[in-house]
Amino acid sequence: MDLLPNISLAAFCQQLLVGLSRTTILFIVASGLSLVLGVLRIPNVAHGSLYMIGAFLAYTIASAAGGGTFGFWLALVLAPLGVALISLAVERGLFCRLYEREHLMLLLFTFAFTLVFGDLVKLVWGSDFRSMNAPTSLQGSFDVLGFPFPKYNLFLLIIGPIVALGLWWLTNKTKIGKIAKAAAVDREMVAAVGINVSWVFASVFVIGCFLAGLGGALVAPTQNITQGMDHGIIIETFLIVIIGGLGNIWGALLGALIFGLTDAIGILIFPQFAIVFPYVAVITVLMLRPKGLLKSVW
Amino acid sequence: MKPLSRFILTTLAVLVFSAIITGPTAFAAKAVKVGIVDCYSGPPSTYTNDVRDAFKLAIDKINASGSLSRKIEFVTRDSKFKVDIGLSAAKELIMRENVDIMMGTINSGLALAISDLCKKEKIPFLVTFSKSAKITGEKGHRYVFSLTENSALAGKAMAESLAKKPYTKFWIGGDDYEYGHAIADATWEHLIKIKPEVQLLGQSWWKVREPDFTPYITAMLAAKPDAVIVATGGADCVPFLKAAKATGFNDKVPFIMHTATELSTLKPLGANGPEGVLGTSNYFHYFPDSAENKAFVSEFKAAYDRPPAVGALYGYLAATFIQKAYATAGSFKTEKFIDALEGMTVDSPVGKVTIRAFDHQAMLPMFMGVTKKSAEYDYLIADDIIVISGEDAMPAIEEIKKARGM
């Protein structure tokens, strides 16, 4: 194989676009993980499982609603809410009692939850592969510079900035965002001024998990909805959070961009060894900036 | 502390007691015991459940008919798709459960490990899903039998069908894993032998369980090949076909993928799957349109309320071969059982299937078809099916000898 195959500029731009749409999903899931990590100091390994449950819930809701266009939109709204509800129960029932424990303990607890959720999914949905359809208007593709670009990916490209803006608004402009920031720095001080820190943490945890569910619901029409889809995403998003800077949402965005784009471009330029590209990028970033690209602002 | 120690004592007592009553089964009328190790958790179970369920159905029928003087019973162990767990389960089945026959598994690494164990323990091992050609090829031996096609057979069948089409410029994309490379190599090596003018533009290798194939497909399209050989398997077939549909890949460049036409792949995609995809498989519940297959399908549906997928054929074959081999041998001795199995032919839903005496590989016919919408089912089916007979797809005995260094 040629070391430098003949790649047109059009193909390169098109590949960038495809990479960006994948970045959207990575960002949405990673930002939720980063939020929980930053405020609650919980390395939530079960985040990937919630993403999986989001996808399964989306499938169930969409099928129950007839599987058409309406079913998809309903699923996109309800599935993340369902995941948020599950996470609320988990937070109130268990995690809220564990905040004082050390990191390793929390890590083990969340790891235990990946096993519990994994078996739960198997019990509820069984082992068959599941699949749901994108709405008719988002099916198929159109030509960008002579190459096919799936309409659904364009939809993802629109959703990504909306979620980013929403998160920016939430953390900078709302009261809960400001309290959460303060609570992350000094929990006792916030409690001393009469704020119920426990509920602030619960809200942040639920919002973070909602994002996992949203990511799951968004990928559901493009993927095979099956057990084990939690493994890949949790590894990738953890890497993204680490290179971006722990707990920094903009770091998650930057990390997702680096990860998603090196992946897509690697596939185009050196398809035989494409798998290694995003990981090489991660290693490079960590060698240059061991604490991540951006500061942990929370 | 006291209630706790009492609790531990009670638990121990119960465990010891249950070990005593369930341990020795020797005083019961001795049944033939089959030990199945396979992955029953996670995505592979969508394939392995069919093997087990069809095996059970066939065994129940054999036991009810009384055609053997001993009953056949079986125990299963979950390998969790891990070689170490599966291998220790296999050891446990052989040492403690004293199984007469081993069966399984979808994991190629584990299949080879159990095969090795069975060679030492002199226990027949019937492989029911692993696609590794090494099982009956390079690593074949007296005690291992493969009742499923493997990457060599599938690759040869795909190459035969591709050679008939007017394509010369190819691209290969596949799982960066043994299965992907094995099936791609088998296809390409045979294709270049029967059609020397073909050329390979390039290759893409992705990780197993790649979630989104869109960037791979757009990159392959940018290279403008005549056709693409897709060497991906299992759970990855579904997202690949989804991405193919979303990008219009199937309309732009023809591609062939082993197992693309299988029920486990096409059913989750529903009526919205991509049409015109070339694929090969050992079994369809709607093909061959024979009385045997219809009877098999209706029995399976009656028992499990779903149509049988390809795994069901392997489970059925295992049970049928076990019954016939013992009946022919007229004995329950292992060596006689193996002698009987070598070269044995049974009737099956896909017609007569013979185990080649030399390498113990079942000569299964391969069905190549094109995905198409169907009026009867709410998922795509394979159409324009071409049958590649087991004899044609089998690697030559000389090749096996060469691989084994004979």
User: What's the pLDDT tens digit per position in A31-88?
Assistant: 999 999 988 888 899 999 999 999 999 999 999 998 788 999 999 999 999 999 999 9
Which of A:22-51 have CB within 8 Å of B? 22, 25
> What's chain B's average pLDDT?
90
Residue B368, pLDDT > 60, answer: yes
pLDDT of residue B350: 96
For A147-169, write each residue's pLDDT tens digit. 889 999 999 999 999 999 999 99
Distance CA B300, CA B311 (A): 12
Domains and CATH numbers, chain B: 152-287+365-403 (3.40.50.2300)
The answer on pLDDT for A116 being more than 50 is: yes
Q: Which of A14, A18, A224 sits opposite B239 (nearest CB)?
A: A224
Pick B204's closest partner by Cβ from A22, A264, A272: A272
Burial B149-161 (b: 16+ CB within 10 A, else e): bbbbbbbbbbbbb
Q: Which residue of B has its CA nearest to A15?
A: B215
**Whole-number Å distance between alpha carbons of B375 and A218:** 30
| Confidence check: pLDDT of A298 > 70 | no
To the nearest whole angstrom, how far is the Cα of A153 from the nearest Cα of chain B?
9
Segments making up each domain of chain A, as ranges:
25-230
**Mean pLDDT across A222-244:** 91
Identify the band that residue A101 occupies on the pLDDT scale cut at 50, 70 and 90.
confident
Q: Which band of pLDDT confidence, cut at 50, 70 and 90, is reported for residue A3?
A: very low
pLDDT given at position B122: 96
How far does B91 lie from chain A, in Å, by closest CA? 26
Q: Which of B219, B235, B242 sits opposite A268 (nearest CB)?
A: B219
Strands (E), B92-208: 101-104, 125-127, 144-146, 169-175, 199-206
Q: How confident is the model at residue A185 (pLDDT cuts 50, 70, 90)?
A: confident
Amino acid (one-letter) located at B10: T
Contact (Cβ atoms closer than 8 angstroms) between residue B352 and residue B334 = no
pTM for the full predicted model: 0.85
CA A208 – CA A76 distance, rounded (Å): 16
A111 touching chain B per CB within 8 A: no
Give residues with Cβ within 8 angstroms of B263, minimum separation 6.
Answer: B284, B285, B307, B309, B310, B379
Residues from chain A contacting residue B173 (CB–CB below 8 Å): 271
- Cα of B237 to nearest chain A Cα, Å: 9
Note whether B235 and B177 are within 8 A (CB).
no
Summarised one tens digit per residue, pLDDT across range B217-269 is 999 998 999 999 999 988 889 899 999 999 999 999 999 999 999 998 999 88
Query: Which residue of A lies nearest to B39 if distances are taken between CA atoms?
Result: A127
Q: What is the pLDDT of residues B104-118, one digit of tens each?
A: 999 999 999 999 999
**Mean pLDDT, rounded, for B349-371:** 95
Which of A223, A237, A269, A279 would you mutate first to test chain B, the one with the most B CBs within 10 A? A223
What's the alpha-carbon Rg for chain B, to the nearest Å?
22
Q: Which of A81-85, A94-98, B26-30 has the lowest mean pLDDT?
A: B26-30
Nearest CA to B52 among A116, A224, A127, A130? Answer: A127
Torsion sign across C-alpha atoms B353, B357, B362, B366: negative
Residue A203 touches partner B, C-beta closer than 8 Å: no
Q: Are B214 and A219 inside 8 Å of each other by CB? A: no
Chain B closest-CA separation from residue A197 CA (Å): 38
